[in-house]
Amino acid sequence: MAPGNQTQFTEFILLGFSEEPGQQGPLFGLFLGIYLVTVVGNLLIILAIGSDSHLHTPMYFFLSNLSFVDICMVSTTVPKMLVSILTQNKTIPYGDCLAQMSFFIVFIGLDHFLLTAMAYDRFVAICHPLHYTAIMSPRFCSLLVLLSWIISFLDSLLHSLMVTQLSFCRDHEIQHFFCDLAEVLKLSCSDTLINFVLIYLVIGLLGILPLTGILFSYSQICSSILKVPSAQGKYKAFSTCGSHLSVVSLFYGTGFGVYLSSSTTHSSWKSTVASAMYAVVTPMLNPFIYTLRNKDIKDALRKLISRIASSQ
């Protein structure tokens, strides 16, 4: 395909969830509420961890990074959708679509790596408690987060550069509420075989491998917990990783739901709803899971709120 065909292409149309006028108001209210709860909830987690010296540990360091990534992830997709609903303008420029797609890939990758790092942290804390301080040093934790950013950025850059080599010369309506990589590739009139091969390769390397690491960590954790003689000791050991296990189950459960729905159903609406659960609802629920199941976070939030209230 000649390069000129690609340069003539200027924008996509994001169809979103519904084109019915009567459903636009409820959709706007729903996603505005989800977005505000997500941002405020995760921001409170970050502030609570930063303001309480007792929470300056590797586990909460990774949690604060996860909360920051969740804020960025929903900010990549939801505001554009809200503006589209409000203005009834569903077009998105080619450059903006590419940027949205790139940032989303970065933040999804970071979620995978941070959840894996948190699982490793719990593994070391429960299975090798005497060596925990030496292994999970601040330098090592910072290095893990830095490597997560670098790998996620390089992955996103590779996908984005390959998309820029494609031509889009036919239907430019995306059956989604944001510029998802797979949906964008479906609209290309170039050969996208290499792009899809790369997607599945990355899913295997950056998705399945971290999940395998998480499952291995928890298999070792469960083995160690079963060796604890007292029931109270077992409960205390498991309670330290219960919140993380819940978040992992929610993240990967909705993630697999997205890929299963897209491969087994021809309904674009069902696939879009599954993607919303994965990319929008999960980041909103994470603060609730950690707050409700974690006494340290509850106490830190109470202190933070009391400090804010007393300063007024």
User: Alpha carbon 129 to chain centroid distance?
Assistant: 29
Q: What is the mean pLDDT of residues 215-230?
A: 85
pLDDT of residue 147: 96
Of the pLDDT bands very low, low, confident and very high (cuts 50, 70, 90), residue 71 is very high
Q: Which of the residue ranges 82-91, 217-226, 261-270, 279-288 would you say has the lowest mean pLDDT?
A: 261-270
pLDDT of residue 7: 43
Strands (E), the chain: 11-14, 91-93, 173-174
Q: What is the mean pLDDT of residues 198-213?
A: 86
The answer to whether residue 193 scores a pLDDT higher than 70 is yes
The answer to whether residue 89 scores a pLDDT higher than 60 is yes
d(CA 45, CA 40): 9
Asked if 98 and 163 touch (Cβ cutoff 8 Å), the reply is yes
User: Alpha carbon 90 to chain centroid distance?
Assistant: 24
What structural domains does the chain harbor?
8-311 (1.20.1070.10)
Six token digits for residue 198: 């790369």
Of the pLDDT bands very low, low, confident and very high (cuts 50, 70, 90), residue 233 is low
The answer to whether residue 4 scores a pLDDT higher than 70 is no
The answer to whether residue 271 scores a pLDDT higher than 70 is yes
Q: What is the mean pLDDT of residues 50-76?
A: 93
Residue 294 DSSP SS3:
coil
DSSP symbol at 208? I
pLDDT of residue 15: 84
pLDDT of residue 6: 45
d(CA 265, CA 262): 6
Q: Which amino acid is at 233?
A: G
Highest mean pLDDT out of 89-103, 186-200, 251-265: 89-103
Q: What is the mean pLDDT of residues 18-32?
A: 82
Q: Which amino acid is at 64?
A: S
DSSP symbol at 222? H
d(CA 162, CA 4): 17
Asked if 179 and 101 touch (Cβ cutoff 8 Å), the reply is yes
d(CA 121, CA 135): 9
pLDDT of residue 29: 93
Burial class (CB in 10 A: 0-12, 13-18, 19+), 191: exposed
Pairing between β-strand 11-14 and β-strand 173-174 as defined by DSSP bridges = parallel
Average pLDDT of every residue of the chain: 85
Residue 142 DSSP SS3:
helix
The answer to whether residue 263 scores a pLDDT higher than 70 is no
pLDDT of residue 268: 64
Of the pLDDT bands very low, low, confident and very high (cuts 50, 70, 90), residue 261 is low
Q: At what angle do helices 58-87 and 138-164 cross, to 10 degrees?
A: 30
Of the pLDDT bands very low, low, confident and very high (cuts 50, 70, 90), residue 5 is very low
Of the pLDDT bands very low, low, confident and very high (cuts 50, 70, 90), residue 203 is confident
The answer to whether residue 126 scores a pLDDT higher than 60 is yes
Q: Which of the residue ranges 20-34, 99-113, 224-238 would you say has the lowest mean pLDDT?
A: 224-238
The answer to whether residue 24 scores a pLDDT higher than 60 is yes
The answer to whether residue 230 scores a pLDDT higher than 90 is no
pLDDT of residue 249: 86
Asked if 293 and 245 touch (Cβ cutoff 8 Å), the reply is no
Report pLDDT digits (tens) over 145-165: 999 999 999 999 999 999 998
Q: Which of the residue ranges 56-60, 192-196, 214-218, 273-277 would you say has the lowest mean pLDDT?
A: 273-277
